[in-house]
Amino acid sequence: MIPRQMITSELTVPLPDTGLVDRVATADPSFRLPVSSDQPQTASCRAASLNLDPFNLAAEELAMTDCCQGVEVRRTWAETELVRTFGGHQFPGTPDGMFEDWCGTLTCVQVVRVPLVLGMNSECMQRSLAQTVLVKIVKSQTWLRATECAPHEFIIFCWLPFSVPLVVVEYSDSLMDRVRQLDPRFSLRLRVPARPGSLFPALFASNRDGKLKHCLSCSDLATFGGSADDTDDVDFEWDITWDWASEVQEQPYSQVDEVNMEREHVQELSHGVQGIDPGECDLGYHVWLGSALVSRSCLRDVLRV
């Protein structure tokens, strides 16, 4: 009887058509990234994210591919591997991914879809983009304080639903200049997808106005002073050829020397106490001998010599 063979196959779940990353939302509209969206994600990849929304998964996948362009990646970490908890509570600001190159440089990526709508003017776009970036940075700093890793760069990757005016991009650049003065680890990337509908659902950011209860500023950011390895302490030079045995033998001070010094001091005092009645020493007086003030106990010892 021929045994039945077990045939296993990996479960694949198709994602919505994400398209290619179109261009950077800057003055260079010809920039394109060779990112393919024809490969479906597996169920295991879906479990690596805390937000299983298909639009969010597509945004995170394309963002990580963009950040890894031109980098020889040695190892990557998923969002679920980077979660930090304390007392049963999860720290906010967990990166959506982290990767390490062959030089040991760590890079964290935080992906966010900026809530912009076509009816906004430039001022509203600036405010919405700035608040989105600041919220992500504040949360990311909380996570950085709770983790043991020290990333070289922390990328805030912003997906925009459409191309924004140049004044909005310049405003975000000036904001990041102020942020980097406080914490140089953070950087900003703005991208526009080729098919915005693949990352942004139809009613995305339609009720966003009522959610902004508190506006953040650069004063809410923590100042990063560098890691413990970057201190300015003086580096001591250790001599591994130190002859400790000879160093101990060459010590000039010993108990014998201390006794000899006391005897010499007593002999010097004996020359200045001639004619002093020993009974006067019991009165508790102090006697000036030359330039030294001698107590009664010391005088008694000198007179007995």
Q: What is the pLDDT of residues 152-190, one digit of tens each?
A: 999 999 999 999 999 999 999 999 999 999 999 999 999
d(CA 222, CA 275): 77
Q: What is the pLDDT of residue 205?
A: 80
Whether 257 and 220 map to the same domain: the answer is no
Amino acid letter at 122?
S
Give the domain range for residue 208. 12-224
**Mean pLDDT computed over every residue of the chain:** 74
Whether 268 and 149 map to the same domain: the answer is no
Flag whether 284 is in a domain: yes
Count of structural domains, the chain: 2
Whether 102 and 188 map to the same domain: the answer is yes
Flag whether 246 is in a domain: no
Q: What is the pLDDT of residue 53?
A: 86
Per-residue confidence at 209, pLDDT binned at 50, 70, 90? low
Q: What is the pLDDT of residue 175?
A: 96
Whether 173 and 220 map to the same domain: the answer is yes
Q: What's the average model confidence in pLDDT over 222-228?
A: 74
With b meaning 16 or more CB within 10 Å and e meaning fewer, what string describes 188-210?
bbbbbbeebebbbeeebbeeeee
d(CA 57, CA 47): 10
Residue 113 has a CB neighbour count (10 Å cut-off) of 22
Q: What's the average model confidence in pLDDT over 42-51?
A: 60
Flag whether 244 is in a domain: no
- How does pLDDT run across 100-148, given as a tens digit for each residue? 999 999 999 999 999 999 889 999 999 999 999 999 999 999 999 998 8
Flag whether 237 is in a domain: no
Q: Which is it for strands 73-78 and 97-101: parallel, antiparallel or unpaired?
A: antiparallel
Per-residue confidence at 194, pLDDT binned at 50, 70, 90? confident
d(CA 93, CA 257): 67
**Does the pLDDT value for residue 236 go beyond 70?**
no
